Amino acid sequence: MKLFLAILILGFGSNSFGQKFEKISETEKQLIGSNSTEMMRVYNRNSPTDSITLKAISHPIKPKNKWTQVLAERMLLSVKNEGGVGIAAPQVGINRRMVWVQRFDKPEKPFELFINPEIIWQSVLMQKGPEGDLSFDERGLVMRHYAIQVRYQNLIGETLTEMMEGFTAVIFQHERDHLDGILLTDRIKEQENMNFEPSSVRSNLYYLKN
């Protein structure tokens, strides 16, 4: 039985699916382009102009849209070319709520697309591990929720819900942070003064102390 079935789960989150989708702007269309076989430039935090996009809050995107399809395909090419395990739309200059996550919890570890993703449940059990980012060179140890329940849309507009745990859950939380302008370095700084208590389940698992 998967570990998340044996631990306490807490819920939170807001529903972005009921929001009105803003039309893709002309600037966004120029960045997305029309050639789905070309990679996109990955934005770098050390660039003042790139940093503005990376720190901005992203908006929902309409799933059944030709621009969404092209953006998704080009993002996937970009993350694979960079050797990453996940990528968010802001990292290619588009402040829209869409991410790719490599599913290490599935056979052959495929990349999967999540449009307007939300975390609607999260475990009190935390996991500690190293993280990196395609948008800068720094790496660091970060605490993430061990198990999460997510809700999202796919390219045909279906709303789906599922559970994730372990490394896949870490990737999802990392990429989801990008959609709110939260970078890895922000999480590291945030957790400097937080206290965590080791669990008896596994050496890298913890509980947040009150």
Residues with a known catalytic role: 175
With beta carbons less than 8 A apart as the criterion, state whether 130 and 139 touch: yes
**What would you measure as the largest C-alpha separation in the chain, in angstroms?**
54
Reduced to 3 states (helix: H, G, I; strand: E, B; else coil), residue 17 is coil
d(CA 82, CA 87): 10
Look up residue 29 and give its two tokens.
């269309």
- Contacts of residue 48, Cβ cutoff 8 Å, sequence gap at least 6: none
Q: How far is it, in rounded angstroms, from Cα 21 to Cα 16?
A: 10
Question: CB-based contacts of 56: which residues, under 8 Å, 6+ apart?
Answer: 90, 95, 181
Q: Terminus-to-terminus CA distance in the chain, angstroms?
A: 29
